Amino acid sequence: MTCGGGAAGYGKGMLDTVLSITVLAALLLLVGAFFLWRRTGNVKNALLMVLLAAVALANVAIWVLPDAGGEAPLDKLEQDPG
């Protein structure tokens, strides 16, 4: 039993899941940074958490936003090489 019609479909499905979890983790980092800053006043660690969230969201954007040709790297995985 395959998910999505073969190994390429399985890989894309897994990548979709990983990207979704990354976005959720970035949002939780932002919320956690806010609470850390409000409760302890620790600005340095809160800013590091915000920076980590920004890096994670930038990585997701690299995969899902289209390039100048109008095709996202994530869409290129759907094409079967053979």
pLDDT digits (tens, 9 = 90+) for 50-79: 999 999 999 999 988 888 888 888 777 766
For residue 75, being part of any structural domain is answered with: no
pTM: 0.77
For residue 71, being part of any structural domain is answered with: no
For residue 50, being part of any structural domain is answered with: yes
pLDDT-derived band at 28, boundaries 50, 70, 90: very high
For residue 57, being part of any structural domain is answered with: yes
In single-letter form, the type of residue at position 5 comes to: G
Domain count within the chain: 1
E-state strands within the chain: none
Average pLDDT over residues 37-44: 96
Residue with tokens 């996202």: 72
For residue 51, being part of any structural domain is answered with: yes
For residue 6, being part of any structural domain is answered with: no
pLDDT on residue 5: 52
Which candidate, 3, 23, 28, 9, places its Cα nearest to that of 74? 9
Range of the domain at 55: 15-64
Q: Give the span between the Cα atoms of 68 and 82, in whole angstroms.
A: 25
For residue 10, being part of any structural domain is answered with: no
pLDDT-derived band at 1, boundaries 50, 70, 90: very low
Which candidate, 36, 10, 24, places its Cα nearest to that of 60? 24
Identify the weakest region by mean pLDDT among 10-14, 33-37, 68-72: 10-14
